[in-house]
Structure 1
């Protein structure tokens, strides 16, 4: 944790670049995106533009939109709880599309959102799979019919999807990170119902059972906030040297790709007691453990510019789930977790998508039911 912070925060002039990434950046066309572009003058201007709409004060002003999105999300869950992942992706994607372009999506089958999610699926494969063309860039000029150039056909589909939508700036920040956090929340809440019940009791005592909670309630719900933090730590949703660096006796050559292992950082027993146990109270009291939100959104000049909005969005969706629904694991999920050694096993990472950009959960099932009659009234009577 200390070394990653020192290297990527204090030496940002040398560690703010990006690897060439022929497959993702050139063939699929993601090199023009702020997240993948090299740190040049254009990249600085792009980040300044995003910061004007995503700084902390601006993020707080989006409270009404977050509340409306949360209500729509909870109603979609009530109507079709089995499709909770689709409901999550639609809610998060719709919020960003509305924030950026005024576009309002009403369906989990919205063609634009489906295209965006599919393009990110291709990007995830491109960045997590070995492609020979990344080591031998000249191969990109081979025709698609040439033997062994399946990467060209894959790249053509991914590139076409990349060109068909213009939401690159905002979707990278929220749609993937926030959805990953919320879907991970479903998993951890189902595996640790006793912790979810403590958060529900806190929500009931502070907010009551007559209205849906909002961002203004967050400061009064420390345990609920800690539970969301613990989800981020357990299931965290990663920079490139532009000059030689001498670091703690090691020389890091110019052009070296630096990937901080966030998963390992947030499980370091030096900083987190019993790191494989889901325990929100680690963030409470007079000596809280490090806040995972300082690390999951990146470091230095490459820190996610939309972290404040993503943080608010994931919190209100997760807290909204707790206020209205009980979540329990399905028999299939219980069997899978048991086969991995139980809910405190180090092998739970096997529930994560191996070709994802943001630690996405593999599809799983859980039982989502209304907590009580007041839950239905909250959704029916909220504007």
Structure 2
């Protein structure tokens, strides 16, 4: 049977597309994998990943050996470490359609029960339903003032708590951060020794320990989740699971109870639950609201807490920076005649620089949050297989000597306009993630850090503590080696700068 011209053209088009498709796949298959300790071997072999502060090894020894892209296979699991801002931007931002998902975290999600944490969701419609609520309540530009009053109020409570018991400064920071998030999310108030603050401390501690992908073998071999309960990692997971479920359910139940009693304040949970009250099947919508609220609760317990604790450390070892910041604030607030306001921010540029440097100096998530490749890709002549877990080395990115000169030094002035030319010293946005997985609470977190830093510097001098002989104790610049980093040891000395404040 003779073919018509249209049929011949269609057949030719199909054959051409097929040839191009298979040629492309053959070409990609022939491309080398990115360099790494075992990337070029035909038979996959195991690699002992660095266990203690892996971001430092990737940024130093391994970067010298392999460069900005490090490809590793562990028990058949491909992992790609991104060691520079350029490759992170090229892949996670410019090619976000392929790099915005998350790997399955068997230990954290399946065993520890963090399956409700929105930041761990694969990219797709389920995540988008959650992010829609985030965007309704979180400021998306620097001009938003929605939560400034609450942030200021909790900061003033923090100042009083530091005066009464300065040695517990970390707990006071945690309480202030939790106070903001719990009030805006659940309408709940917190106080010293509050159960919600203690719960956040305990739950986040487990997440921090297990958070880096591959910390436990079960991440590479998911079938191990069916191992007997007496295995060490299963016992840990069970204990941590109770805490993660409590963090999700306890404050949500309290908010629901206050709504039932008619005493609930206006907050995310009350407004969203009222919005779905007319639905016939509310279970899915209610779960989304609960997940969003719980994720905000977790977020309020990491970046802000870690950064403000690091602030006390930085000020105790850099009195000259503290004095410069205080001089700037004193000019604006009349030398302690009042506490700073958000409206003062345009006149307090150096306080901005201090906050930026806190985020850059020791980022709370030095390996970021793992991304996941959903389509095979080619980059710089290398093949990046589908199913690769991508670890953005935030520490390396924020400590590139070419970008941030003298990167280990705490130097807020690097962010002054005259020092941000020719690509030098960009703002530390990687501390909040990349591409489509950029943290939606970035502005809320930065505003909380800013008002706390500015207010503490008005009221207190922060210095090194002294031992029983009166000698100064030199604080160690050491942070925990986990996914979420916090200072290890510090007991700063606080002395009030003003005896009485007049509030505007």
The aligned counterpart of 2:153 is 68
The Cα offsets for residues 336-369 of structure 1, whole Å up to 9 and x where unpaired, read as 54xxxxxxxxxx4xx11112x3322113111111
- SS of 2:500's equivalent in the other structure is helix
Bigger radius of gyration: 2
> What is aligned with 2:489?
363
In 2: Cα distance, 1:382 partner to 1:200 partner: 18
User: Match of 2:163, SS?
Assistant: helix
Query: What does residue 204 of structure 1 align with?
Result: 330
Residue 374 (structure 2) aligned to one of 227, 237, 242: 242
Contact preservation (8 Å) 2:317, 2:475: no
Contact 2:203/2:247, CA 8 A, preserved across alignment: no
- TM-score (norm: length of structure 1): 0.90
Match of 2:387 among 242, 249, 255: 255
For residues 108 and 144 of structure 2, what CA distance do their matches in structure 1 show? Answer: 30
Q: Report the equivalent of 1:343.
A: none
Q: Which has the higher helix share?
A: 1
Q: Which residue of 2 aligns with 1:103?
A: 188
Question: Corresponding residue for 1:178?
Answer: 304
126-135 or 172-181: bigger deviation: 126-135
Relative to structure 1, is the Cα distance of residues 273 and 142 closer, same or farther in structure 2, using a 3 angstrom cutoff? closer
Aligned mates of 2:218, 2:209 — CA distance in 1: 14
SS, match of residue 161 in structure 1 = helix
Which deviations, in whole Å up to 9, do the C-alpha atoms of 1:154-209 show, x marking residues without a partner?
Answer: 11111111111324221233321111110111110111011100000000001222
Q: Does 1:165 align with 2:274?
A: no
Range that drifts further, 169-178 or 326-335: 326-335
Write out aligned runs for 1:299-338 (5 A): 299-331=434-466, 334-335=473-474, 337=476
- Supply the RMSD in Å over aligned alpha carbons: 1.8
Q: Quote the Cα distance in structure 1 between the aligned partners of 2:351 and 2:321.
A: 9
For the residues of structure 2 that align with 1:285 and 1:33, how far apart are their CA atoms? 38
CA 1:143 to 1:70, structure 2 compared with 1: closer, same or farther past 3 Å? same
Q: Which SS does the other structure have where 1:164 is aligned?
A: helix
Q: CA deviation at 1:293?
A: 3.5
Question: Which one scores higher on RCO, CA 8 angstroms, separation ≥ 6?
Answer: 1
Q: Distance in 2 between matches of 1:277 and 1:155?
A: 38
Counterpart CA distance in 2 for 1:275 and 1:131 is 31
- Aligned residue for 1:368, secondary structure, equals strand
Give the corresponding residue for 2:108.
24
Q: Give the equivalent residue in structure 2 for 1:340.
A: none
Unaligned runs of 5+ in 1: 338-347
The Cα offsets for residues 211-262 of structure 1, whole Å up to 9 and x where unpaired, read as 1111111111011211121111111121221111111122221121111111
| Contact 1:16–1:241 (Cα < 8 Å) also in 2 | yes
| Secondary structure at the counterpart of residue 35 of structure 1 | helix
Aligned with residue 195 of structure 1, among 321, 329, 347: 321
Select which of 126, 140, 143 maps to 1:56.
140
- Correspondence for 1:138: 223
Q: 2:165 aligns with which of 80, 104, 107?
A: 80
Partner of 1:154: 236
Residues 15 and 240 in structure 1, CA contact (< 8 A), matched pair in contact too: yes
TM-score with structure 2 length normalisation? Answer: 0.69
Counterpart of 2:12 in structure 1 is: none
Query: Structure 1 residue 313: deviation in Å?
Result: 0.5
Counterpart contact for 1:173–1:305, Cα < 8 Å: no
For the residues of structure 1 that align with 2:89 and 2:211, how far apart are their CA atoms? 24
3-state secondary structure, aligned to 2:461: strand
Query: 1:376 maps to which residue?
Result: 499
Q: Count how many residue pairs are aligned between Structure 1 and Structure 2.
A: 361
- How far does the alpha carbon of each residue in 1:300-325 deviate from its partner, in whole angstroms, 9 at most, with x for none? 11111100100100111111111111
Hey, what's the Cα distance between the residues in 2 that align with 1:336 and 1:204? 27
What's the counterpart of residue 284 of structure 1?
416
Between 286-295 and 243-252, report the one with greater CA deviation.
Answer: 286-295
Structure 2 spans left out of the alignment, 5+ residues:
1-84, 249-292
Measure the CA separation in 2 of the matches of 1:331 and 1:36. 43
